[in-house]
Amino acid sequence: MSSKILIIGACGQIGSELTYKLRSLYGDENVVASDISYNNLDIVNTGIFEIADAQDYASIKTCVEKHQIDTVYLMAAMLSATGEKYPMKAWDLNMTSLFNVLNLARDKFIKRVFWPSSIAVYGSTTPTEYTPQYTIMEPSTVYGITKQVGERWCEYYHKKYNIDVRSIRYPGIISWKTPPGGGTTDYAVEIYHEAIKAKSYKCFLKEDTELPMMFMDDAIKATVDIMTAKSKNVKIRSSYNLAAISFTPQEVAASIKKHIPEFKITYAPDYRQDIASTWPKSINDSYAREDWKWKHAFSLEDITEEMLFQLGKKYNTISKASQ
């Protein structure tokens, strides 16, 4: 019998692309997408879709039982920048949804759980260069606090109830397919859109703010890799450090100028700068590379070429259609 997968938060930035990937790997009939609304018609119309509230245990349980789900990917979350505006909503969504899924696993309704953590678990007291797997964690945002606490609960449920829960700490994610979701690293997506549309961009971070980043294809690959790894090779049940590349807004702008020489960038740091300043500049992900053979594929130049090519097609198509 094939594994049946439920993706909670399937209409979000990572959730949507993960849904496409898992459907391509396991078949549309074995991957159920769910979210609180029909706000991504491509996801809704290309496979099985259910309206389900991540904060409502009964809603998720009904979906699990209806489709005989054994594996859940919990991708619903309120991210760092948005979470600072609505701290209690961020806490409620991020923590309640995790407990709902962990409790479904504890009570044997499902067998496996994927839950994403983030570099937001780190704070200003964390070593910023090549941040190790095990180090000081004093997160500065509500989002980071929920991820740090979530890691501890994942490990607790694994030890106490033998739950097969797997997690990675995502860095900033760059994608051309879906819009940013309210994170501090959103500039690294916005800058490409504005380079195509306006040949200029006003960045909300300082020019020399170095942060760990990753192309969406690599993030999806890492998610699939850890979930298909043998259980004995997943030795960390809180969350694995995950890395690809690190860069600054200045470096992204320079890579764009190679393709669009007239591109200009200005800087107007806002409240997101305070968040970014507490995050690592680079990540040591040696445990992931050793335990389940993680390896990234995209460099900054690779990312810039792909983003400009794909967004160029998107906006040129829109432009022609409107003429």
Residues annotated catalytic, as ranges: 143
Whether the CB-CB separation of 165 and 102 falls below 8 Å is answered with yes
DSSP string of 89-126?
HHHHHHHHHHHHHHHHHHTTS-SEEE--EEGGG--TTS
Whether the CB-CB separation of 178 and 20 falls below 8 Å is answered with no
Instruction: Report the C-alpha gap between 36 and 301 in whole angstroms.
Output: 36
- Report which DSSP code applies to 41: H
- Report which DSSP code applies to 283: B
DSSP string of 216-277?
HHHHHHHHHHHHHS-GGG---SS-EE---EEE-HHHHHHHHHTT-TT-EEEE---HHHHHHT
Whether the CB-CB separation of 72 and 112 falls below 8 Å is answered with yes
